[in-house]
Structure 1
């Protein structure tokens, strides 16, 4: 390192961050092979999901606009997390330049937040479909869904930019700052600063509240209303049909929120290595499982896949 610090308006910026990652864990290379396989399945699965949605006109509905957005966020978030992990730990590049670290933190925060908000949007779609069925096509339109998704992207983009901006104003007193995480995590970085980190502390509290707390509250409230509506449905067939439309989404919600909520709620009981592995798994497994769950647990999507395969087999492309 030719220059350990960059001085700018009394702000000491280290040239590198050291990502400590999974220290003291046996057979780490097998975990990285697992991550590589997860990434391949994630990209292929979500790409196929998006392709089917684009190709089949019957899926050009507001609901599947949100599903497409979830798949896009899944691919982007996995790309922001997994390749960087493989480069950092598998190839021993644990010293990450300051600018690249900020970019990594920004990308992971942006796409993870978008995943959470998209699951919230899907819960809103299910709420209106079951609790207000006669008004569904008036409330949930293509335009309204695009506006909601656009507003969500704007919100998470602003939060990610603000977080990175305040991070860039932190001053560090060490030549190399150690980050006890598997990526350039906001929390360990701002707690290592030696100047006033109050703005970053506020962002660290506000971001989970907006991205985890509010969505969980909204989703739980939505499903309480849905459950009340289902109890009022007298026909068992109608009740079963309405329940099936929520099954895939409920599984996605459980996979996404339960592990991360448990990890943060009981972080003081969990050792550092276990916490880092839990957070790593919660960031890579939901994007891989989402297309699998939607493919096998959503009847209308399965019909579209079969129709598309039948069309390709009966009328193959002519060269």
Structure 2
């Protein structure tokens, strides 16, 4: 087939999970429910942090930014999936595909960097408790969030520029629920050697460095906790990190599952299911992990309910 300019491709067909209308109706209801739960949970955390002055500390400021990122992350992919389930028109336009890829890479990178910042915050709180408010001052907190967003924005723009230069053969089908970077690279008729090198290089930096920072932070944290003589002190220190550590394992675990499914398995449905775990289930579970294990969040939400009642 003769390659054609990417700007000449009007839309990309999506294979999705199934062609069965009854199953698509079930998936529509399931994804809609999960999306609404994700929105409600994350927005409640943001509301609790904004409305309660006791939560205006670095830990919860970072948490509210993480919740906002989760809302944006799931909103990037799920609404389009719901429209395709409802209309049985499994396709996405060229412009829509590039836009989705750009925002997907933006919020995925931002979530990784925010989790790293939160790990550093826990490191300072446990290893240097007396200097916590001095070190984690409002200026540094704002700078860390701004740097995380700026790096993520540059990453997404670089991905956009790389993908906009590719050409595709006519009638390509994306074996997925939405546009994914690796799938488009496999379907391109262009020479993607440079693109793959850049993607692996960027992934190693923006994935490996934050993960290394998180591992280093928790190595220091665990070492500091083990030196505490009181069992109550150890439990209190571990409890402040338990929620964050659970979210880190969930985020990187599902992300690794997406990568392995795309490289090891040849079934596009297995890859699509892994991506659903990464883009739908993880943002939905994060607010439950934080709210159910955090007394301050539960108290703030309870005070909001009492005031409204």
- The normalised TM-score by structure 1 is 0.89
Check 1:79–1:263 CA distance in 2 against 1; reply closer, same or farther (3 A cut). Answer: closer
Aligned to 2:45: 49
Please say if residues 5 and 13 of structure 1, whose CA atoms lie closer than 8 Å, have aligned partners that are also in contact. Answer: no
Aligned to 1:170, the other structure's residue is in SS state coil
**CA RMSD, Structure 1 to Structure 2 (Å):** 2.2
Please say if residues 3 and 189 of structure 2, whose CA atoms lie closer than 8 Å, have aligned partners that are also in contact. Answer: no
2:66 to 51, 70, 76: 70
Matches within 5 A, 1:71-220: 71-172=67-168, 174-220=169-215
Please say if residues 117 and 215 of structure 1, whose CA atoms lie closer than 8 Å, have aligned partners that are also in contact. Answer: yes
Aligned to 1:60: 56
Aligned to 2:287: 291
Please say if residues 16 and 97 of structure 1, whose CA atoms lie closer than 8 Å, have aligned partners that are also in contact. Answer: yes
Give the CA deviation at 1:160: 0.5
Give the CA deviation at 1:78: 0.9
2:246 to 247, 251, 260: 251
Give the CA deviation at 1:33: 1.4
Check 1:270–1:259 CA distance in 2 against 1; reply closer, same or farther (3 A cut). Answer: farther
Aligned to 1:27, the other structure's residue is in SS state helix
Aligned to 2:267: 271
Gaps of 5+ in 2: none
Aligned to 2:13, the other structure's residue is in SS state strand
- The normalised TM-score by structure 2 is 0.91
Give the CA deviation at 1:37: 0.2
Please say if residues 105 and 183 of structure 1, whose CA atoms lie closer than 8 Å, have aligned partners that are also in contact. Answer: no
| Greater helix proportion | 2
Aligned to 2:172, the other structure's residue is in SS state strand
Between stretches 239-248 and 131-140, larger displacement belongs to 131-140
Please say if residues 257 and 274 of structure 2, whose CA atoms lie closer than 8 Å, have aligned partners that are also in contact. Answer: no
Q: Distance in 1 between matches of 2:189 and 2:150?
A: 32
Aligned to 1:316: none
Check 1:181–1:290 CA distance in 2 against 1; reply closer, same or farther (3 A cut). Answer: same
Cα deviation, 1:270-290, whole Å, max 9, x if unaligned, reads: 632112111112211111111
Q: Verify: 1:229 aligned to 2:224, yes or no.
A: yes
Q: Distance in 1 between matches of 2:32 and 2:307?
A: 33
| Greater strand proportion | 1
Q: Distance in 2 between matches of 1:190 and 1:263?
A: 16
Please say if residues 74 and 280 of structure 2, whose CA atoms lie closer than 8 Å, have aligned partners that are also in contact. Answer: yes
Give the CA deviation at 1:6: 7.0
Equivalent pairs counted in the alignment come to 306
